[in-house]
A and B are shown apart, each in its own frame.
Chain A
Amino acid sequence: MIGEHIAIVGGGLLGAAIAYGAIRSGLEVTLFDEHDTAHRASRGNFGLAWIQGKGLNKPEYVNWTKNGLRLWPELQEELLQITGIDVALQQPGGFWLGFSDREVLERETKLKQINAQGVHVPYTIMDRSDLLQYLPELGPSVVGGSFCSLDGQANPLLLLKALHSALKIKGANIINGVRIERVTYDKNTRRFLCFNSAGDHWESDRLVLAAGLGNAKLAADVDIYAPIRPKRGQILITEKLKPFLNYPTNKCRQTNEGSIQIGSTSDDVGLDDSTKTDQIELLARRAVKTFPLLSDARLVRAWGALRPLTPDGYPIYQESVKYPGAFVVTSHSGVTLAAAHCYTVAPWISGLTQTPLEFIAFRGDRFIQRPKE
């Protein structure tokens, strides 16, 4: 409710967006952020604001994403007004690229299946000659692709900076360098408590766990099941180049500063976020296959970002039944869904709106194995 004090654990794209949404809805906000070398999955976000290809077997997610993308320009404008930071949102449409006819056919099938679920996502299957109209530097190995007019990109780091900036301007209490180890609920005071390892604690009326990889453990404290596992994705960044790529593609995009971002692989390696040379070479090969002129661009940075993934890859947005007012939120699409998190999730966790109907599909207990009858 307005005036209530809400504590949000996790200052990444998710936590910061929700915190901002909460404070603009009239709540008092305390945001906890870890130390400088913490995992920080947000730093590994690729920066796509993307819908095509998503949501197979989960029409609620298609709808959720579609609405989120629609709300994005409003968020960009609002952040620009308040902080002066332009998060470089572009929504010109985006391309998925395929290297064989079979791949392209499989893609078309998938996109048809997704639309058959009821929520329509516009797309066009293109052959090579069509693609060249939009992506003239395309290499000979790319035989076709799919275009979706709703897709786009933004700068994830500028977005994070803008959100933190806006939070500061609006008077949020941001506590840096603190790792919340445990959360509890006090029945008598009806308040939530967040503890760090030293035993310091902070109180609040409401609690949101947006701690990414840390959520699995903390969620149990509020009786929510959130099986989140780290999935490492290698990303490459080149030196800054003069613009040549006007549309984001699923594996390669040109940032607003001019560097080319190339991604990403996907490995299950626990918490090892080191960079592997064979993965770098694989990504470099694919980038050069897609756009041969990148052969002469220099790789400046590569890193393995650990993404917090649920078993089915879809988010968890759940309020605790045992401890109403406590929420777990997790999503690896921190850019795509930023506006949705700010304008829809935030009012909900603030107690100002009813639980969106589709959130039934995003409960953490969908992963609980039911015993067979």
Chain B
Amino acid sequence: MSYDVVIIGSGPAGMAAAIDCDKYGLSTIILDEQPMLGGQIYRNIEYVTSGRLKILGADYEHGIILADKLRKSQVEYRGNVSVWNVTRNGEVSFVINRGGRSGEKSQSINGRFVVIATGAMERPFPIKGWTLPGVMGAGAGQILLKSSGLIPNLPTVLIGEGPLLYLLAYQYMKAGYKPAALVSTTRFSDYFKAIYNMPKAMLSWRDFLKGLKLLSSIYIHGIKVYSGATCLELNGSDFLEEVSFKHKGSYKKISASLALLHQGVIPNTQITMSENLPHKWNENQICWEPITDEWGRLPESNLYVAGDGRGIVGAQASETQGKLAALSIANQLKNIDDFIVKSKQLKQTLSKQKRIRPFIDRIYRPKDEFRIPKGDDVIVCRCEEVTAGQIREYVDLGCIGPNQTKAFGRCGMGLCQGRFCSLTVTEIIAEKRNVTPTEVGHYRIRAPIKPVLLGDLANTDELTE
């Protein structure tokens, strides 16, 4: 099966790219791992109740416009699909998720171009006790709210920093739940350092005001906020029981049954890394990013990346990047009228939408101690239970990069395929060796990009050959 454009992911970038590709008359298909469109930020956008919509706010509601346009278009949407391989010339292999049993066989489709719009994931938060039941990412809290309408019922502490954390606190309060505390890891010095980014950020004064409104409402509603927290620990025997931290010089303990952690999101680079495409280390966002041209195209390939998977830019900018990719692709397949004008407009829009980014990145920069655990017994690889101390031991044994530590200690060999430990391992090795993350490098990622049933890969009809 062949399409002009195959799009992987149905968040703002994926949907926007699809809508525009369709507008330009290109045959387009979206492959989505989730059962419904919307990606993470617009999760459940097509089925959300009006009550929930009020809580989730206008930014979320914007997703309805995208979903509507998409449904009205000729774009083929396939949910419940797990892409396990993408080649540089546009061959995409996938299986259908049927919840376990070997269902249909693996399929391959070809796109003359592929847009990788797989977005971002929660940055890991490796602190003592983060693997305890009762500890989740703040993103998970948002997903539970959006998809299932669930809010906390028992004492909950929100921990970390970043817009998503404050948004969640705000949404919880609108829904009638007040968190026991917000333990913020932002320090006074962060605000100070971010002043340099303020002038540019003020150009996006609407975004800026939105953020201020969010923050102030948290204080107004009387949520207990502890700023500049350090030495975070989550304690409990089988489940979370207590959050402890250092605040203004003294140790504090808060009883809690749920802790929601957040220190920003990071690009999901599994697909781009799997084809050995070059990535660079972004020191401002402290993560790897694929190297692309201004349209999002990856070198020597028919692949584009759009959205947070290219570098964290937020929902609006992700949409614009989707449109840029679509425009670039369409212009190669058929000449687009006023291509120059359209591209100039989109690039200007993107530039405006990214203006506030350096400010946010600086003010909410995740702290070293929460990215590079000091404690040797803190788990780094959740799947294989490998600790920070063990990684450092492997460096002592001569491992100079994450692929060697993987070979020596199984770190990164679990089912999550290194997604949750990758950045932590690179940074631990970099710190121990006293070199840059660029020099240390990252995991070598290969197909299958997601675990796939052997039965789905084997052609089960031919068992008797």
Asked if A and B bind, the verdict is yes
A160 touches B417 (CB 8 A): no
The residue in chain B whose Cβ has the minimal distance to the Cβ of A168 is B397
A296 touches B101 (CB 8 A): yes
Chain A, interface residues (CB within 8 Å), range: 35 or more
Across-interface contacts of A239 in B (CB, < 8 A): 415, 451
Q: Is A292 an interface residue (CB 8 A)?
A: yes
B455 touches A257 (CB 8 A): no
Docked CA distance A36–B108 (Å) = 32
CB proximity to A under 8 Å, residues B398-449: 398-404, 407-410, 413-415, 417, 440-441, 444, 446-448
Spot the interface stretch: B204-212, B249-257, B351-359, B456-464: B456-464
**Pick from B404, B415, B448: contact of A302, CB under 8 Å:** B448
Docked CA distance A164–B393 (Å) = 12
Across-interface contacts of A297 in B (CB, < 8 A): 453-454
Residue from B101, B448, B452, B460 with most neighbouring chain A CB atoms (10 Å): B448
B457 touches A284 (CB 8 A): yes
- Known A-B contacts A274-B276, A296-B101, A300-B417; A281 and B398 likewise in contact (beta carbons under 8 Å): no
Q: Is B230 an interface residue (CB 8 A)?
A: no
A141 touches B464 (CB 8 A): yes
Across-interface contacts of B222 in A (CB, < 8 A): none
A296 touches B453 (CB 8 A): yes
Residue from A11, A299, A302 with most neighbouring chain B CB atoms (10 Å): A299
Across-interface contacts of B404 in A (CB, < 8 A): 36
Q: Is B110 an interface residue (CB 8 A)?
A: no
The residue in chain A whose Cβ has the minimal distance to the Cβ of B87 is A277
Q: Is B102 an interface residue (CB 8 A)?
A: yes
Q: Is B100 an interface residue (CB 8 A)?
A: yes
The residue in chain B whose Cβ has the minimal distance to the Cβ of A298 is B451
CB proximity to B under 8 Å, residues A209-260: 236-239, 257
Docked CA distance A303–B398 (Å) = 23
Across-interface contacts of A353 in B (CB, < 8 A): none
A285 touches B448 (CB 8 A): no
Across-interface contacts of B100 in A (CB, < 8 A): 296
Across-interface contacts of A284 in B (CB, < 8 A): 454, 457-458
- Known A-B contacts A285-B462, A295-B460; A164 and B398 likewise in contact (beta carbons under 8 Å): yes
B85 touches A277 (CB 8 A): yes
A292 touches B463 (CB 8 A): yes
A295 touches B455 (CB 8 A): yes
Across-interface contacts of A275 in B (CB, < 8 A): 85, 446-447
Chain B, interface residues (CB within 8 Å), range: 35 or more
CB proximity to B under 8 Å, residues A263-288: 274-275, 277, 280-281, 284-285, 287-288
- Known A-B contacts A176-B400, A281-B457, A284-B457; A289 and B451 likewise in contact (beta carbons under 8 Å): no
A288 touches B460 (CB 8 A): yes
B408 touches A157 (CB 8 A): yes
Q: Is A294 an interface residue (CB 8 A)?
A: yes
**Pick from A161, A176, A288, A294: contact of B408, CB under 8 Å:** A161
A288 touches B455 (CB 8 A): yes
Instruction: Give the shortest distance, in Å, between B433 (CB) and chain A (any CB).
Output: 9
- Known A-B contacts A277-B85, A300-B413; A295 and B398 likewise in contact (beta carbons under 8 Å): no
- Known A-B contacts A168-B397, A168-B398; A281 and B106 likewise in contact (beta carbons under 8 Å): yes
- Known A-B contacts A35-B401, A300-B415; A160 and B408 likewise in contact (beta carbons under 8 Å): yes
CB proximity to B under 8 Å, residues A289-329: 289, 292, 294-303
Q: Is A203 an interface residue (CB 8 A)?
A: no
CB proximity to B under 8 Å, residues A114-166: 139-141, 157, 160-161, 164-165
Across-interface contacts of B91 in A (CB, < 8 A): 277
Docked CA distance A284–B458 (Å) = 5
Q: Is A57 an interface residue (CB 8 A)?
A: no
The 8 closest A-B pairs by CB, nearest first: A36-B401, A295-B455, A284-B457, A298-B451, A285-B458, A288-B458, A284-B458, A161-B408
List 25 contacting pairs A-B, 8 Å CB cutoff, sorted by A: A36-B403, A43-B403, A43-B407, A161-B397, A161-B409, A164-B397, A275-B447, A277-B108, A281-B457, A284-B454, A287-B458, A288-B454, A288-B460, A292-B463, A295-B458, A296-B453, A298-B415, A298-B451, A299-B448, A299-B451, A299-B453, A299-B454, A299-B457, A300-B413, A301-B448
Given contacts A168-B398, A298-B451, could you give 20 more A-B pairs where the C-beta distance is less than 8 Å?
A36-B399, A36-B400, A36-B403, A36-B441, A139-B463, A168-B397, A176-B398, A236-B454, A274-B276, A277-B91, A281-B458, A284-B454, A285-B457, A295-B102, A295-B458, A296-B101, A297-B453, A298-B452, A300-B448, A301-B448
Residues of chain B touching chain A, judged by Cβ–Cβ distance below 8 Å, are 85, 87, 91, 93, 100-102, 106, 108, 276, 396-404, 407-410, 413-415, 417, 440-441, 444, 446-448, 451-455, 457-460, 462-464
